[in-house]
Amino acid sequence: MKSAKIVLLALLFLSIAGNLSFSQQKRARDNYDSFKLLPKYSDAPSVPVTRVDFTVTLRDGTILDALKFIPQGTPPSGGWPTVVFVHGYGDNKETLAGFAKSQAEYGYYTTTFSMRGQGHSTGLSNLISNIEAQDMIEFINYIKQDTPNGINPNNILVMGGSQGGLVPYMACTMGMNVKTIISALAPPNFASSWIENGCIKMTLLWTVEYTPDTARYTPQVDRMSNWIYASNKNYWDSLAYYLPLNRDFMTSVPNNRVPLIMEGSWQDKFFNASGIMKASVLNTNSTFRLYLGAVQGHGGDHSPTEDTWHMQFFNDWFFYWLFPYSGRTIPAANYDYASSTYPVNGVYWSFKHDSSKAALQNITTPYRLYLNTNNRLTTTAGTNSNTRVSVRNQVTGGLTMQEAVNEEFTGTTFTSKFKKNSVSFTSAALTSDKKWLGTPKFNLDYLSTASVFTQYNIQVLEVMPNGKEKLINRLNYTDRNYTANTRKTKNFEGQAHAHIFKAGNKIKLIITNLDTHPDDAWFLGTNPFVLPVLNNGYNYVYLSSNSYIDLPITNAADNLTDNKGMEEPFTFSLGQNYPNPFNPATMISFQIPQKGIVTLKVFDVTGKEVRTLVNEVKEAGANSVLFDASALSSGVYFYKLVSGSFTDTKKMILVK
């Protein structure tokens, strides 16, 4: 069995950043230049394929523009394993045509189509709703009939990200019957996530402002940009009511019966990864595996080590479901995740991989830090409940949201009418590493001189001893039913994340009226994460026992596999490296059943030690280590794991 190449879902949805002018469109678009291929399931040479363009007429007369690639030759028993690729929002079937062709040459029947209202498909887009999910079901049922061309109707994998992940996942909760799906960047509460805590994300406006050559909308969706631009509570109420309607499907997740991988990025600028965490505990009626971390899409960081880990992760999944004769098994842990941490590689964090058999939200405890006087962030509350700080929302000259958007929140008009203001709070240096894992909460004690709308944006950063700092993530809240000069408290959730704060560093909070930061510029440019409120006034925060952040912190700084609720205990094992042969890097996985000293060393054929990969105490659980052999010569090498009385050695081949 040859595991040649795979699809790296982590690379599915690289969002284009750069100097793109605002028609507000292209920055959030997806490209697919980094696609890899699914596993080649035999050593047979690539096969010739035939492209066939076709259409599918739906229940309401909408015509989907589709294509398929059919391998030539005799299919295996039952038909060719089948893969359906689903494109991201605003794209079309041609986006994936080259990739589908290359995949088909491996001996897969592949197909893709343009969503309604996109590409050359007819109809109007309802912005990722149950209408599109029903289209997906009808498309699957249609292609299942193509047995004369070798399709295997009982062996279909559907995969995609963003819209391409949401629509298949939603369709599965509505009864779509396929073998398995891969759903990336697709929380089932995605529509609410776009407007959570009364805030409107910049990426929602980008999406609903596509021009007809990219997406053609239903009348209701077409009105949404007008609702966003209007500084009017009634229009906000319309958006808050209609956007989640027939789009959010969190309550339907238990209806899913299809095995799936759920993937998300902690740094997703579209959808809060907390929605994927919540969906995982509701997905009780099908097999699933969750990964959260470095998924490079929607503004997420890139991690070479996580990309390599994904190779084995997805190969194991694909072989297990599509090729039962392969003998592959799926991992014991349901939950894999990666934590961002120093050092910084260019604009990206480094990442550390971990796994758990328990839901990630069940292995943390709150670490509470209070806003205190003298810009301090402390573990004890201040004593004067009436002490307060202000973040002025200084807006003059009748600035409109349309003006701000047209100038991408910079330029002469915007900067003359809007002043960004902020106040910061910094903790003492940490005495040990602390791992934030999951969704932070903020309790806000506030008062504003503005009426109707008032906004508070909280950015979370890590500060090194030399003063250098980097943004991790944020919490945002807009009160859209506010009476001026009324003191209120509000507890709200922020963006889920996993991050390891290093001992000796500090935690910093910035409260600002405009949620922009230089660390976002590569994706957002000069645009904010959420649209600001344009009401002039002073926004106060009281430094009382009611103003604090709760960071969900794990109980250990290393591997946090939790023993509670495990279906079965971990055992000693050393996995075969992947890929193998490799050049120049490969991933080695192992697991241990209890905490202990672990060594993992690499030797050449003479028995000489050439590298020590691990030599430390590890918690019980699964681990993955990247071996970079750039400095070594081609040849056979051995890697040896020792933990307690357990020893195992495996061979690997470096080919340059």
Q: What is the DSSP letter of 59?
A: T
pLDDT digits (tens, 9 = 90+) for 385-394: 999 999 999 9
CB atoms within 10 A of CB 263: 29
Can you say how many angstroms the Cα of residue 202 is from the centroid of all Cα atoms in its chain?
17
pLDDT of residue 555: 60
Q: 573-654 has which CATH code?
A: 2.60.40.1930
pLDDT band at 41 (very low <50, low <70, confident <90, very high): low
Is it the case that residue 38 has pLDDT exceeding 80?
no
pTM over 0.85: no
What would the two tokens of residue 158 be?
A: 């559907």
Do 625 and 600 touch, CB atoms closer than 8 A?
A: yes
Q: Helix, strand or coil for residue 538?
A: strand
Segment 194-221 shows an average pLDDT of 96
pLDDT of residue 488: 98
Name 243's Cβ contacts closer than 8 Å, sequence gap at least 6: 191, 192, 194, 195, 204, 224
Q: Which residues of 606-624 are buried (b: 16+ CB within 10 A; e: fewer)?
A: eeeeebebbeeebbbbbbb
Report the mean per-residue pLDDT for the chain: 88
Say how far apart CA 52 and CA 67 lie, in whole Å.
Answer: 6
Burial of 440 (0-12, 13-18, 19+ CB in 10 A): buried
Is it the case that residue 284 has pLDDT exceeding 70?
yes
Say how far apart CA 247 and CA 258 lie, in whole Å.
Answer: 20
The domain limits of the chain are 9-331, 365-554, 573-654
Nearest to 440, CA basis, from 548, 331, 578, 316: 548
pLDDT of residue 192: 98
Domains 9-331 and 573-654 share a fold: no
pLDDT digits (tens, 9 = 90+) for 478-491: 999 999 999 999 99
Do 610 and 637 touch, CB atoms closer than 8 A?
A: yes
pLDDT of residue 536: 94
pLDDT band at 271 (very low <50, low <70, confident <90, very high): very high
pLDDT of residue 452: 92
Do 332 and 622 touch, CB atoms closer than 8 A?
A: yes
Name 370's Cβ contacts closer than 8 Å, sequence gap at least 6: 377, 378, 379, 380, 381, 382, 543, 545, 547, 548
Is it the case that residue 93 has pLDDT exceeding 90?
yes
pLDDT of residue 619: 76
CATH topology assigned to domain 9-331: Rossmann fold (3.40.50)
Alpha helices in 441-562 (DSSP H): 521-524
pLDDT band at 557 (very low <50, low <70, confident <90, very high): very low
Segment 430-449 shows an average pLDDT of 96
Q: 365-554 has which CATH code?
A: 2.60.120.260
Tell me the range of 43-57, 97-111, 506-520, 583-597 where mean pLDDT is highest: 506-520
pLDDT of residue 7: 36
Beta strands in 89-137 (DSSP E): 109-113
Side-chain half-sphere CA neighbours of 485 within 13 A? 0
